[in-house]
A and B are shown apart, each in its own frame.
Chain A
Amino acid sequence: MSSQFKLDSACPSGPIESRWDNHRFEMKQVNPANKRKFKILVVGTGLAGGSAAATLAELGYNVTSLCIQDSPRRAHSIAAQGGINAAKNYPNDGDSIYRLFYDTVKGGDFRARESNVYRLAQVSNNIIDQANAQGVPFAREYGGHLANRSFGGAQVSRTFYARGATGQQLLLGAYSAMNRQIHAGKIDMRTRREMLDLVTIDGVARGVICRNLITGELERYAADAVLLCTGGYGNVFYLSTNAKASNVTASWRAHKRGALFANPCFTQIHPTCIPVSGDHQSKLTLMSESLRNDGRIWTPKERDDGRPGDQVPEDERDYYLERRYPAFGNLVPRDVASRAAKERCDSGYGVGNSKQAVYLDFKDAIARDGEDAVRAKYGNLFHMYEKITDENPYQRPMRIFPAVHYTMGGLWVDYNLQSTIPGLFVLGEANFSDHGANRLGASALMQGLSDGYFVIPATVCGHLAGANLQPVTTSHEAFAAVEHEVREKTDKLLSIGGSRSVDSFHRELGLTMWDKCGMARSESGLREAVDKIRGIRESFWGDVRVLGESENLNQSLEKAGRVADFLEFAETFAVDALHRSESCGGHFREESQTEEGEALRDDENFCYAAAWEFQGVGNDSTLHKEDLSFDYVKLAQRSYK
């Protein structure tokens, strides 16, 4: 690929309200009878992949769907707790499509694409209608109408929810829509398959190579379009709220085949997670942002106050979010709340044994509304907290601390969700476009379902109708060549026979990432990170021990492949963080802050999406810039005070 190409976002022009309509009208169409002639491969069955597969099959396309889990219902969207935003304005509190658009652009600290975000806000209402029609049991008021609650970064109540399991219910809705199409024979569903590489022919995505995780066989799938709906890369930090199988492999291998990777350093550190309890920790558990509707965050006013939280009197508590941000209080956006918690702990006000925690307290809510009312809203979250910590949060304040949660960066896509490889589309968390440098709570579910139910069905036909695709089968030599490369990599991992487990390398990488590329980043730290990542990668390939065989279910081998990719990807992550010397959203450079310690953007030099082109492992990637313009939401210092 030439490194001189220009990124074309394919965004329509004209008034922002009519861009999506005009774009769809101008898009080439595939007539209903011809749709069955096109084969579409959907990798991943979370909210984006599940909704896309179901909808494309309904339209008549020939869909094959792949997932890494034993059932499409288990994709990690299932774990999303708090809710999904929509601009319904049911509470009559002044919400509108424009306000949701405005809040999302501002919440993303002006690093998202206006056209995409407006479209997202436009289709948000259709998502709620769609999910409701599927039988998703949203929370309701006594009159039978849908209930709303508030989430961070907004001063209206626009979040729809199903107790603390909104992601589960929305995913089961998409799963049920898929099931209907599987039953009708329109989706060929393949479970326990891991995509290990992308096959391109003449520069166009035409299929993938997968490993059957039960038999270990490598399988070839050919298609006219490939949709990556493979989620985020938070597990590069080892400890995150992501599921254990969440990984960057599908995205990374597509990147190595020519898809640019945008803003990899934009990571969301979620403020309210259960703190780490020891070295054995294998993952972190989120406590939903919805808890900040009723919970109040505080630390003692005295440093190293050793008293249990419930014994600290009211006037000795510092409700620091309410103090610093009176307008938004406990509902400031996630990046702001996380940094504020870190600041308190770094200054010596942290609580609990590790001193790396702050309190989230429901005392006032329980006194006001009663324990039953609090249980009705948050019962499953409180139950989970008690299971993990052995403490009763109805009686003692929860201890919480920020943890890696979501990744705003991802494969670069244009307005059609197409990557820089024609025919390769990227949906949901795996792409980069809608959340800028910080995602607002309850917006991930909205984006995944928007991409799958409403955007891709309208945009994929542009490629199918316009690209003059020739029929391709899996006997094409390109499939054999890529399969050979995948097999060599697998064989190599099994043959090293070193002394250290895959997990030990992953933990080492995670510590480096958290330390140097976490909530606060600096030039010297990031340079150190690059060196360390290279070192870990080198020792991995010399000393990893992967037991078992390739022709069988082999979880160590699966992990080894994923960690190998994380070790390459991490370097691009750190390089991106190093080059962006401004602070924005979740990316906080210590060198760039206001006097009050808030993130200080540098719009003159960094008002762009950074899209990296792969140039070989260990070589410097080439930076391409997509300039961002803000015609509607004017660039301004973000303030929640």
Chain B
Amino acid sequence: MTLNLRIWRQKDSHAEGAIESYELPGVSSDMSFLEMLDILNEQLIGKGEEPVSFDHDCREGVCGSCGAMVNGQVHGPDTETTLCQLHMRRFKDGDTLQVEPWRSAAFPVLKDLVVDRSSFDRIQQAGGYVSVATGSPPDANSVPIPKDDAEAAFDYAECIGCGGCVAACPNGAAMLFTAAKVAHLKKLPQGQPERERRVLSMVDTMDKEGFGACTNHYECTAACPKGVPIDAIATMNREYLRATFFSKEGV
């Protein structure tokens, strides 16, 4: 099939960007979306034009590197699918696809479709861990954890940190991302000792990084390639409120 691509091109973080149009013939329906971009880049290199930059790595939906808005939709039209797992059989000959980077004040564009998501790391650094030094923790079976709790914890822990939730949210909120870690550790006994300081510190950092607040649009969970459940946000709000009462260290 032949596609009409409209792709955001931006030289670096200081430059003005613009949409450029490209016609791309020879797209096979078995290709992944990123393989389609590979073919475009081969075509551009052939013409002496600089190829389109985009983050990608594992190409099997788990590293969280890739992501773009495709016709205004996070990771394209399929549910629970990263951009690398979106396949061209979803489109037809003659389609026009507009491809843009995540748009968020907290994710500055570095080049073309590549954005800076280091704010996500800083939120995790603020408290997304259990403080356990390497050494001799107790035997892993010493504290039984109900199967359902472990499964629920996994559902939150599965977040790949792609940033799609922020891009989907009209407020540019990182609530689902932050809440996924809070809810994961809240579900497990290992997470209890630092329960209050974790949520206070992570939410504080999230706000400082310039992410918006949640006003219950649920766009984040609809866009999430791993289907992280929306109730994580309710859990985080409850945990936050609780911590403001119970924290011995203050807010």
Contact = CB atoms under 8 A, between A and B. Distances in A.
Interface of A: 51, 54-55, 58, 69-74, 76, 78-79, 88, 90, 126, 128-146, 162-163, 165, 168-169, 172, 175-177, 179-180, 182-183, 189, 191, 214, 243-245, 277-278, 280-283, 285-286, 383-384, 387-388, 390, 453-454, 457, 501, 503-504, 545, 547-548, 552-553, 555-556
B150 to A, nearest CB: 5
B136 A129 contact: yes
Nearest to B150: A140
Contact of A277 (B30, B124, B137, B153): B30
B12 interface: yes
A142 B150 CA distance: 10
A384 B82 CA distance: 11
18 contacts: A71-B64, A73-B161, A74-B63, A78-B58, A78-B62, A133-B140, A137-B153, A138-B140, A139-B150, A176-B129, A176-B130, A180-B131, A243-B57, A281-B35, A283-B60, A387-B61, A387-B78, A387-B85
B190 interface: yes
Contact of A165 (B34, B131, B146, B158): B158
B32 interface: yes
A545 B59 contact: no
Contact of B57 (A69, A135, A136): A69
Contacts of A547: 45, 48-51
B207 interface: no
Contact of A133 (B30, B42, B137, B145): B137
A179 B138 contact: no
A283 B59 contact: yes
B62 A79 contact: yes
Interface residues of B, number: 78
Given A282-B34, A547-B45, A553-B111, A179 B121 contact: yes
Contacts of B188: 135, 137
A162 B55 CA distance: 27
A73 B141 contact: no
A243 B134 contact: no
B59 A282 contact: yes
B94 to A, nearest CB: 20
Nearest to B38: A282
B250 interface: no
B87 interface: yes
Given A55-B134, A138-B150, A78 B111 contact: no
Contact of B185 (A135, A165, A388): A135
Interface string B100-132: 000000000011001011101100111111111
Interface in B54-80: 55-65, 78, 80
A491 to B, nearest CB: 18
Nearest to B185: A135
B144 A74 contact: no
Given A130-B134, A140-B150, A214-B110, A552 B30 contact: no
Contacts of A144: 144-147
A55 B133 CA distance: 7
B4 interface: no
Nearest to B140: A132
Contact of A387 (B31, B81, B160, B190): B81
A508 B104 CA distance: 40
A79 B157 contact: no
Contact of A191 (B12, B48, B49, B118): B118
Contacts of B35: 280-282
B80 A383 contact: yes
A183 B85 contact: no
B154 interface: yes
Contacts of A245: 57
A594 to B, nearest CB: 36
Contacts of B136: 126, 129
Given A71-B118, A78-B58, 8 more contacts: A73-B64, A135-B185, A176-B130, A191-B121, A282-B38, A285-B59, A553-B114, A556-B51
B63 A76 contact: yes
A280 B89 CA distance: 14
Contacts of B59: 243-244, 282-283, 285
A268 to B, nearest CB: 17
Contacts of B129: 134-135, 176-177, 179-180
Nearest to A191: B118
A141 B111 contact: no
Contacts of A176: 124, 128-130
A501 B157 contact: no
B237 interface: no
B60 to A, nearest CB: 5
A245 B63 CA distance: 12
Interface in B12-29: 12, 28
B140 A162 contact: no
B62 A388 contact: no
Contacts of B210: none
Nearest to B60: A285
A211 B205 CA distance: 29
A588 B96 CA distance: 49
Nearest to A163: B154
Nearest to A390: B89
A556 B146 CA distance: 49
Contacts of A214: 110
Interface string B196-235: 0000000000000000000000000000000000000000
Nearest to B189: A135
B9 interface: no
Contacts of A388: 32, 85, 87
A553 B85 CA distance: 25
B139 interface: yes
Nearest to B59: A283
B157 A172 contact: yes
B109 to A, nearest CB: 11
Contacts of B41: 501
Contact of A71 (B11, B121, B190): B121
B130 A503 contact: no
Q: Which 9 A-B pairs have the closest CB atoms?
A: A144-B144, A133-B137, A176-B129, A132-B140, A137-B154, A137-B153, A243-B57, A55-B134, A183-B125
Nearest to A242: B58
Contacts of B146: 140, 144
A282 B54 CA distance: 15
A503 B42 contact: yes
A97 B144 CA distance: 24
Contacts of B117: 70-71
A336 to B, nearest CB: 25
Given A140-B150, A547-B50, A552-B111, A280 B39 contact: yes
